[in-house]
Amino acid sequence: MGDVWRGYDAVLDRPVAVKRIRPQAVTSPHLAEEFEKRFRREARITARIQHPGVPQVYDAVLDKSYEQLFLVMELVEGLPLTAYVRPDRPLPVSWAVAVAAQVATVLSYAHDVPVVHRDLKPSNILVARDGTVKVLDFGIAAILRTDVTKLTATGSPIGTHRYMAPEQVRGAGVTPRTDLYALGCVLHELLCGQPLFSGESEWQLMTQHVTAAPTPLRELRPDVPAALEELVLHLLLKVPESRPVDVQEVYERLRPFLPSPGAERSASEEPGPEGAPDPTGIFRRPYAPRARGGVARTRSAAADHSARTGVPPVVLPEAERAELRQRIREVQAHYAALMDEERYAQAAEVMAEMIEPAARALGAENRPVLRLRMWRAVSQQLAGDHRAALPEFEALADAYARADGRGSKEARECLAQAARCRGELGQVTEALAGLNRVLNAVRAVDGDVSEEAVELRRDIGMLLLAQGRTAEAYDVLKPLHADLCVVLGPQDELTEEVAETLAVIRLDLDGGASGSPS
């Protein structure tokens, strides 16, 4: 029915998810009208569920011609549960329970609207990078009112057969307890690594959900606590009224298996999948600050490492090399247009998509590739993503130093930009040391009043001022102002900026510091 595209908000310069109807899916005016109703409902319903576990809806475009039907939504960086379910390695109990508890919390907010999801399944549940669980696609939900028209094209039940409650299979009315059955299916699969039922056809699956008894979890995995097995079997009862009263009851029964606030992971606790986010973290440290960001290697830094360890570029035929060069020119033009519009975050991503294939074909230290990497780092820096730009500038400085020497203009520029990133990240001491090293190298080549030297002197003075070292800042900026008056003139914008800063410093120092400058 639809596609989900990664897009960009051109006004706010942020990535978004764009969910759109495929034009070829609209085969008749009647179907177009139904799709429009479904999308309008998804936009309104999802926007009403105020919970961090539901992606936000930013906008809905509902063209009366039905040619343009799409939602603009929060883009969630994460993987669906299907990426973590493996028959040969069941997930740790705490990991699975933490996911189920977060889903239960989301459902409690949805059921209060009231909205029934009706299609809860592992592919609709994402685990974001911070361990937060996101429940996707409330688009086929129905508001619990008797006058709502069914939004199905054929009258067939909405849902996915592997997780469909018996009442859905029969085409009967759904209630919040329908979602509880699906949650039981998901939790069973997380704990034992395989679906509840495994019929070879949709018909077999539907029949099993209506008539077959679930296999108790402890027969498949003995270490599952008995109370947890009992809860899953309770969720999977065939008659809706026999299941737990509501999702709040489910959450309370999951709580004993969740870590307490402040609890550390015990040595005996089984770790989650390698490299996977930890959904138990929000229970151990609720409302904790974001984890400190280490200086993670970016994709291009990894490419730089591969170059240093001797990984050769792929040899392309001349026709493919010409095609690659043309692609690079097109990306550069796109990048330049985005930079002109100050859409820096999108420009960085556009460039990132070109760097990897270019590095594979030409080598990570090929001149055009280094130039692409530099542009990407600059746009990251302008977008305010100094944490990502810093390691790239440092890797580029090393690459240019190997090619042209540490004192080359490109190496100096990268070292200076890395120092500026450190200043923005609050690492002022390291930033000052880096800028002073670059300034010494510039002075040895171009003197004290080159454009590069002037910018460095200004930045050093401002960093000193930010640290409260006003006397030292004054000693840097006063001779800089004198030089600027000679080289650029007293009316130049930069000259006036430095003059204003000196005036502020004089006011501060005159307030009580000894030895104030005159």
Is 459 designated active site? no
Residues 50-94: tens digit of each pLDDT: 899 998 888 877 666 666 778 888 999 899 999 999 888 889 999
Residue 24 pLDDT: 72
Contact in structure between 335 and 379 (CB atoms under 8 Å): yes
**325 and 400 part of one domain:** yes
Q: Per the structure, how many domains does the chain have?
A: 4
Residue 184 pLDDT: 97
Q: How far apart are CA 221 and CA 205, in angstroms?
A: 23
Per-residue pLDDT band for 150 (boundaries 50, 70, 90) equals very low
Q: List the beta bridge partners of residue 125.
A: 135
Residue 207 scores a pLDDT above 80:
yes
List the CATH number of the domain containing 22. 3.30.200.20
List the CATH number of the domain containing 102. 1.10.510.10
Q: 398, 413, 446 — which closes off a domain?
A: 446
CB-based contacts of 109, cutoff 8 Å, min separation 6: 49, 50, 51, 53, 54
Neighbours of 130 (CB within 10 A): 15
Q: Are strands 14-21 and 69-74 parallel, antiparallel or unpaired?
A: antiparallel
For the chain, how are helix, strand and coil distributed in percent, rounded to 5? 55, 10, 35
Q: Nearest CA to 352 among 341, 467, 342, 338?
A: 338
Residue 211 scores a pLDDT above 50:
yes
**439 and 494 part of one domain:** no
Q: How far apart are CA 431 and CA 30, in angstroms?
A: 64
What percent of the chain is predicted at pLDDT more than 70?
86
Q: Is residue 289 part of a domain?
A: no
Residue 515 pLDDT: 43
Per-residue pLDDT band for 305 (boundaries 50, 70, 90) equals very low
Q: Is residue 248 part of a domain?
A: yes
Least confident of 110-124, 203-217, 315-329: 315-329
Residue 308 pLDDT: 42
Arithmetic mean of pLDDT, 429-442: 94
Q: Is residue 267 part of a domain?
A: no
Could you tell me the pTM of the whole model? 0.74
**247 and 127 part of one domain:** yes
Catalytic residue from among 13, 119, 137, 459: 119
What percent of the chain is predicted at pLDDT more than 90?
53
Domain of 299, in residue numbers: 295-446
Neighbours of 511 (CB within 10 A): 8
Say what angle helices 93-111 and 176-192 make with each other, to 10 degrees: 170
- Decide: helix, strand or coil at residue 10: coil
Per-residue pLDDT band for 2 (boundaries 50, 70, 90) equals confident
Q: Nearest CA to 41 among 197, 145, 194, 155?
A: 145
Q: Nearest CA to 391 among 267, 290, 506, 294?
A: 294
Q: How far apart are CA 125 and CA 55, in angstroms?
A: 11
Arithmetic mean of pLDDT, 166-170: 88
Residue 318, H or E segment: helix 318-340
**86 and 231 part of one domain:** yes
Residue 325 pLDDT: 87
Residue 302 pLDDT: 43
Contact in structure between 473 and 465 (CB atoms under 8 Å): yes
Residue 381 pLDDT: 92
Q: Nearest CA to 187 among 229, 226, 157?
A: 229
